[in-house]
Chains A and B, each alone.
Chain A
Amino acid sequence: MAKYKTKGLDCWQRAKELRAKYYKDYAEAHDRGALRWEGGAWMFDAVPQSLEGEIHVLTEEPYGAAVGADPKLQVRYQEAAEGKWGCARDLCAYLRNYWGSIVLNEYAFGGEWPKADFIFQNHICCSHAKWLQVADEIEGGDVPFFCFDVGVGAYDKIEDRQIRYVVDQIHDGIEFLEKHTGRKFSDEKLIQNVHNTYDSACYWAKTCELNMAVPAPLDEKTMFSLYVLGCLEKSNPDFAHFYKYELYPEVQDRVANQIAAVANEQCRVITDTQPPWGFLRVYRYLEQYGIIAVANLYTNSLIGWWTHDDKGDLVPWPTLAEQGITIKDRDHALWLLAEAELKGKSQWAQFYGAKYKNHFVTKIAKQWKCDAAIIHLNRGCEGTAQHQMETKIALQNMGLPVLTFEGNMADEREFDETRTYRLIDLFVRETLGLQKVAD
């Protein structure tokens, strides 16, 4: 007899449709006279999306992950990047998927590689700017390229000086956009896009916050496919609407009615970084022991914005409405965008030292009531894999048992599934002392 009642998400199908449409729109953009641009999942897409007329974006990391979910495709793309372009095998796995895709002139969702009209990127981890710089080179070097710098320090060090630096770069970026697309930049659009971005980022955080509940309404494996929209285009009105009016209320309802993601929840774990995308079944395997992944600095704040309440606990960043802010003009809009990203994206704090990452990870473990931690030592992404071993130590010092296993988010050649199950068996049965629970 299961401990809790459970059911799938009603808005699940909708999330899938939105994602599919996004990739289709990008491929077909030119047929409709729309513009295409490339950027990162952490891009301030609100900005280029404010050019007049129809315009579509392809964000590099989700694309690399999508390829990573299909081991066959992924190995083919990566070997093209390594063999034909000659890049190192230990570079970011998404990046190799992406480059390989261009080298083979193949779009993972069908057809030829849809070349972009311009690149609008931002840079915080070593790979971001270079990723599209080289993509541009592989494509012939004729795609206009702009990249601004957001690596300006940890959230608690952000003052006007840092925000101004980012905002001024974006002002230059807007000039670049108008110059290279010949389209006008619309401030009304920008203001709307910033509102949408706030809704996406804040309501995702609110949704993650609901997962503190026991039983947890969402498991991480499901959350992976929900936050992706925010990595594709935070400013997209449909996506913002999804987060605010579809996902969030439904999860509220699940909490109210004690609807669990895992019917036999008996052990809540915190994880770290991306999983090996081709092997999400590992999560299903854990569920047989009533183990559910409830939170992860990465899942919570990849798109979600957070701040601290007066007790020092993590709470979602307030929406513009909650702050009672009306956006005055372009500079104000850009400022609000930069401020929230620089102060609110806790995922970025880990770029400034293990202490920062430990601060957030230990708080999450406490607030989300975690009993253990499972850390995927991710060889595929230096950015999210920052300080993972220190995180392990910090969590152990809290008294949490921790399992680490090496793998790669999108390079199956670096993930040994059998070995991983061996480690999980050992950890779950011996260290956690759990037995399988009947479904």
Chain B
Amino acid sequence: MEASEILKQFNDVWQLRHEYAKDWKKRTGGKVIGGMCTYVPEELLYAANILPVRILGGHEPPTLATPHMFDMWCPFSRDCLSQGLKGKYNDYLDGLIESNACLHMRQAFGAWEIHVPTPWFYWFVMPNAVRSPRAKTFLRGELAAFKEALEKLTGKTITDEDIDSGIDILNTNRRLMKQVYEFRKQDNPPITGTEAMTMVWASQLMDKREHNELLRQLLEELPDRKLDRETGVRLMIIGSEDDDREFLEMVESIGATFVIDDHCTGSRYFWDEVVPEKDRLQAIANHYCDRVPCPNKDWGMEDCSRKRFPHILQLARDFRVQGAILTQQKFCDPHELDIPSLTRYLEDNDIPCYFLEFEVTVPVGQFRVRVEAFIEQILAEELFV
């Protein structure tokens, strides 16, 4: 299959996520369970033959959410709830998991629990102090409880072999996506940022075994793929969740390419693998504590250091970015709390930054001029020498 064909399939899954999930249930007879954040331990869900799907917004004004979440809650969380209230998930979602996410997603979950008919709810207590060794011990216990709950739900015991295959499916997916990202280091990447990120969205929505298959084919195709476009300025995009394809396409149509990201709908989701060890649950626990943290969980044990910042800088260097666009869902506290520090940190390391605040729908006109100007700023030499 042609690379573009594969990438189109990713886009289709993202666009038609509900149809895909319904079809998957028909095909496999398995359960589909939604997650509201990337701290849901999907390894165990795969071990239980459950398809985990990330709840995403629909990029339409979340008018149904207003009676349940007033205006100060982030547009993404309100959009997610709105999708639920619209009944988009009614005829297939078997359960919903909250993994101690930010207060905004907790709001959406709380209202969903009451107003969106869903057979099963689970509150997974992902610890916040991920840099404390104590968190790993605690999380192991939490995983054991979660495993039990899943066994009760499916009526099937989860064996070590099941967990191993769950870990393997996830790790393979992580490894393959990382290999695809590798291609973005090239001078003229054979895959656009929009395509690459859509690939990640798809992996949060489709059966990773199928996703892995497509990734393997993609990896064969990419070496020979030539894109009929200028790479232009190499940009990094940073933020919480972002599946705003319209925005990514706009930026990549005006002389720039996103070569890397730090998003929980991007690299932050899959960058690190589970390091297998005899105690499987402990191995998974270690992974979720050691992975690149959400700003919400990123603080030092003896000082005010952050773990995520040097990681972002390393990515920026490895992928040779010329500038970074910091996006933020309006009202997103976890990121708002980091952005002033992150901007200083990157600019001190000679990476120009530009900040954009996102709503459910992006005012493309307004954003275009800002991004164009940012690109011109980076390319100043072209205008002045």
Given contacts A148-B132, A389-B68, are A353 and B336 in contact (CB under 8 A)? no
In the complex, whether B340 has a CB less than 8 A from a CB of chain A is yes
Which residues from chain A contact B110 at a C-beta distance below 8 Å? 353-355, 357, 386-387, 390
Would you call A389 and B103 a contact (CB within 8 A)? no
Residue in B103, B330, B331, B339 whose beta carbon sits within 8 Å of that of A125 in the complex: B103
Minimum Cβ distance to chain B for residue A37 (Å): 14
A sample of 9 more A-B contacts (CB under 8 A), given A90-B336, A134-B337, A154-B123, is: A92-B333, A145-B300, A148-B132, A151-B100, A151-B127, A172-B134, A386-B110, A389-B111, A406-B71
Which residues 200-234 in A have Cβ within 8 Å of B in the complex? Answer: none
Given contacts A90-B331, A354-B113, A390-B114, are A165 and B128 in contact (CB under 8 A)? no
In the complex, whether A30 has a CB less than 8 A from a CB of chain B is no
Which residues 367-407 in A have Cβ within 8 Å of B in the complex? Answer: 377, 379, 382-383, 385-390, 393, 406
In the complex, whether B356 has a CB less than 8 A from a CB of chain A is no
A121 — nearest CB in chain B belongs to which residue?
Answer: B299
* Segment with Cβ contacts to A, from B87-95, B135-143, B157-165, B181-189: B135-143
Q: Per-residue 0/1 for B104-125: is the Cβ within 8 Å of any A Cβ (1 yes, 0 no)?
A: 1011011101100000000101
Q: Per-residue 0/1 for B22-64: is the Cβ within 8 Å of any A Cβ (1 yes, 0 no)?
A: 0000000000000000000000000000000000000000000
Minimum Cβ distance to chain A for residue B289 (Å): 11
Query: Could you give 18 example pairs across A and B, Cβ below 8 Å?
Result: A86-B343, A92-B333, A127-B337, A130-B338, A132-B304, A133-B337, A134-B304, A134-B341, A144-B303, A151-B127, A151-B128, A157-B123, A161-B141, A353-B106, A354-B110, A390-B114, A393-B67, A406-B70
In the complex, whether A252 has a CB less than 8 A from a CB of chain B is no
Would you call A88 and B341 a contact (CB within 8 A)? no
Given contacts A126-B103, A134-B337, A152-B138, are A385 and B127 in contact (CB under 8 A)? no
Residue in B69, B106, B303, B334 whose beta carbon sits within 8 Å of that of A145 in the complex: B303
Which residues from chain B contact A124 at a C-beta distance below 8 Å? 128
In the complex, whether A265 has a CB less than 8 A from a CB of chain B is no
Given contacts A136-B304, A141-B304, A169-B129, are A355 and B341 in contact (CB under 8 A)? no
Which residues from chain A contact B328 at a C-beta distance below 8 Å? 88
Given contacts A88-B339, A145-B299, are A169 and B132 in contact (CB under 8 A)? yes
In the complex, whether B102 has a CB less than 8 A from a CB of chain A is yes
Residue in B68, B72, B304 whose beta carbon sits within 8 Å of that of A133 in the complex: B304
A95 — nearest CB in chain B belongs to which residue?
Answer: B337
> In the complex the two chains form, what is the Cα distance from A377 to B306 in whole Å?
33
In the complex, whether A280 has a CB less than 8 A from a CB of chain B is no
Which residues from chain A contact B73 at a C-beta distance below 8 Å? 382
> In the complex the two chains form, what is the Cα distance from A364 to B300 in whole Å?
39
In the complex, whether B296 has a CB less than 8 A from a CB of chain A is yes
Q: Per-residue 0/1 for B279-302: is the Cβ within 8 Å of any A Cβ (1 yes, 0 no)?
A: 000000000000000011001111
Would you call B302 and A389 a contact (CB within 8 A)? no
> In the complex the two chains form, what is the Cα distance from A153 to B139 in whole Å?
12
Would you call B129 and A149 a contact (CB within 8 A)? yes
Residue in A87, A153, A385 whose beta carbon sits within 8 Å of that of B72 in the complex: A385
> In the complex the two chains form, what is the Cα distance from A145 to B102 in whole Å?
22
Q: Per-residue 0/1 for A55-94: is the Cβ within 8 Å of any B Cβ (1 yes, 0 no)?
A: 0000000000000000000000000000001111011100
Would you call A130 and B123 a contact (CB within 8 A)? no
Would you call B123 and A86 a contact (CB within 8 A)? no
Which residues from chain B contact A129 at a C-beta distance below 8 Å? 128, 299
Given contacts A146-B301, A148-B132, A355-B114, are A386 and B106 in contact (CB under 8 A)? yes
Which residues from chain B contact A168 at a C-beta distance below 8 Å? 134, 137
Residue of B73, B100, B328 most packed against chain A (CB within 10 A): B100
Which residues from chain B contact A125 at a C-beta distance below 8 Å? 103
> In the complex the two chains form, what is the Cα distance from A215 to B339 in whole Å?
50
Which residues 91-146 in A have Cβ within 8 Å of B in the complex? Answer: 91-92, 123-127, 129-134, 136-137, 141, 143-146
Which residues from chain A contact B339 at a C-beta distance below 8 Å? 86-88
Would you call A87 and B340 a contact (CB within 8 A)? yes
In the complex, whether A352 has a CB less than 8 A from a CB of chain B is yes
> In the complex the two chains form, what is the Cα distance from A154 to B109 in whole Å?
15
Would you call A351 and B103 a contact (CB within 8 A)? yes
Which residues from chain A contact B303 at a C-beta distance below 8 Å? 136, 141, 144-145
Given contacts A149-B129, A352-B123, are A386 and B336 in contact (CB under 8 A)? no
Would you call B104 and A382 a contact (CB within 8 A)? yes
Would you call B296 and A152 a contact (CB within 8 A)? no
Minimum Cβ distance to chain A for residue B140 (Å): 10
Which residues from chain A contact B338 at a C-beta distance below 8 Å? 130
Given contacts A90-B72, A169-B129, are A351 and B106 in contact (CB under 8 A)? yes
Would you call B304 and A149 a contact (CB within 8 A)? no
